[in-house]
């Protein structure tokens, strides 16, 4: 059976920030979202949509704005020949199994339906569905896709673990682990830590892991970005505790700013261009100097759709990492996709480069 997420009301369906928040929270209780509907409360087909989704699904989360919350309750009551009652200062079907502030759970035709009243800018009400099966993630580096599959799957079978390998970028695979009936997911991770020593991060969010390690060891980090426009630094500062390891990050998009803020030499830009190993090397050095950090990261490239040339086509990106103790690594990338995809790939390749330079910190 399928799982579904419905957002009802104009204040939800047109707000991308709220949609992403609700999806993130819902995926803690649903293995995946097979059906996603963004619906206006005034939609004349609302009753038919709810009825059809419930018939096709085993679990449904309905997030509604305040205006449509009671309408959803009336429709659900009608579907199962029920009536509305007032409980906990909200109207809900009398057959509701559980209820909490602005949230209730009921079973309609063998489908568990959790209805939430959502207000923009507020914490999502408690989801009352049971959490999904034991699922965890690990990240494995410096192995190609086929080698990763050959090495991971036989070990996982011994622990009754189902695996799904997701390629993030070349040499970086995210492994989804799902425990089967008698699966030993923690024991598998312990075994994998030994098998892939120096190549594995035993959690899903790699940047959270990186920032935790840097905070733990009091190692300062800074970034100097050009074509990614601060994308990497924004992903880093999403995590708590980074204020103790980051004094500042720089977006040096124009050549003049690279010169003034980072000390990139005019002759370097003239001879090699901003998209070059030489420029990124000087960006790394300048970022260390201006921030007094221990490690610097730099990115410069052509994200497109314009600006490429025969020598440096769109998707040409140089990424680099420099440590005061271990020197620097710089890599030239040839990325494909639209502007946003190229920018995101550049960020993840840079993260991988950081892990390679500082293995003794992170592994």
pLDDT tens across 272-325, in order? 999 999 999 999 999 999 999 999 999 999 999 999 999 999 999 999 999 999
Residues 86-100: tens digit of each pLDDT: 998 999 999 999 999
Please say if the pLDDT value at position 45 is more than 90.
yes
The first and second tokens of residue 357, run together, are: 């330079």
Cβ of 1: how many Cβ atoms within 10 Å? 11
What's the mean per-residue pLDDT of the chain? 95
Q: Which residues contact 160 (CB under 8 A, 6 or more apart)?
A: 179, 180, 181, 182, 183, 184
| Spatial CA neighbour of 63 closest among 4, 131, 118 | 118
Q: Can you tell me the mean pLDDT for 64-68?
A: 96
Query: Could you tell me the pTM of the whole model?
Result: 0.78
In this prediction, residue 102 carries a pLDDT of: 96
* Measured distance CA(123)–CA(156) in Å, rounded: 37
Q: Residue 134: what pLDDT?
A: 75
At 132 the pLDDT is: 66
pLDDT at 31: 80
Q: Is the pLDDT of residue 183 over 80?
A: no
Domains of the chain in sequence order = 2-117 (3.40.980.10), 135-204 (3.30.70), 207-362 (3.90.950.20)
- Using only C-alpha atoms, the chain has a radius of gyration, in whole angstroms, of 25
How far, CA to CA in Å, does 288 sit from each of 57, 233, 301, 322, 358? Answer: 54, 15, 20, 8, 16
* CB-CB contact of 64 with 116 (8 Å): yes
What pLDDT sits at residue 270?
97
């Amino acid at each position: 059976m399928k799982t579904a997420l419905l957002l009802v009301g104009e204040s939800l369906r047109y707000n991308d920030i709220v949609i992403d928040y609700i999806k993130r929270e819902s995926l803690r209780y649903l293995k995946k979202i097979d059906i996603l509907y963004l619906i206006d409360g005034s939609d004349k087909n609302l009753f038919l949509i709810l009825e059809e989704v419930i018939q096709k699904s085993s679990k449904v989360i309905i997030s509604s704005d305040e205006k449509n919350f009671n309408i959803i309750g009336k429709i659900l009551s009608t579907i199962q020949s029920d009536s509305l009652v007032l409980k906990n200062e909200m109207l809900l079907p009398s057959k509701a199994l559980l209820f909490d502030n602005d949230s209730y759970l009921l079973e309609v035709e063998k489908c568990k339906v959790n209805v939430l009243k959502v207000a923009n800018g507020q914490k999502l009400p408690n989801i009352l569905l049971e959490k999904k099966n034991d699922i965890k993630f690990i990240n494995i580096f410096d192995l190609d896709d086929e080698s990763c599959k050959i090495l991971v799957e036989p070990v996982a079978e011994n622990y009754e673990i189902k695996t799904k390998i997701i390629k993030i970028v070349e040499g970086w695979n995210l492994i989804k682990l799902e425990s089967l009936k008698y699966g030993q997911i923690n024991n598998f991770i312990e075994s994998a830590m030994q098998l892939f020593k120096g190549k594995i991060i035993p959690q899903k969010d790699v940047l959270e892991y990186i920032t935790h390690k840097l905070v733990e060891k009091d190692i300062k980090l800074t970034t100097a970005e050009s074509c990614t426009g601060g994308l990497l630094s924004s992903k880093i500062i999403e995590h708590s505790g980074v204020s103790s390891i980051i004094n500042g990050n720089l977006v040096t998009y124009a050549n003049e700013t690279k010169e003034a803020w980072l000390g990139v030499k005019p002759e370097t830009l003239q001879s090699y261009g901003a998209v070059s190993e030489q420029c990124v090397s000087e960006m790394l050095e300048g970022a260390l100097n201006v921030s007094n950090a221990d490690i610097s990261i730099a990115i410069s490239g052509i994200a497109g759709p314009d600006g490429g040339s025969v020598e440096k086509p769109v998707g040409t990106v140089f990424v680099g990492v420099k440590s005061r103790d271990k020197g620097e690594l710089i890599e030239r990338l040839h990325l494909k996709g639209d502007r946003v995809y190229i920018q995101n790939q550049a960020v993840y390749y840079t993260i991988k480069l950081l892990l390679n330079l500082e293995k003794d910190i992170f592994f």
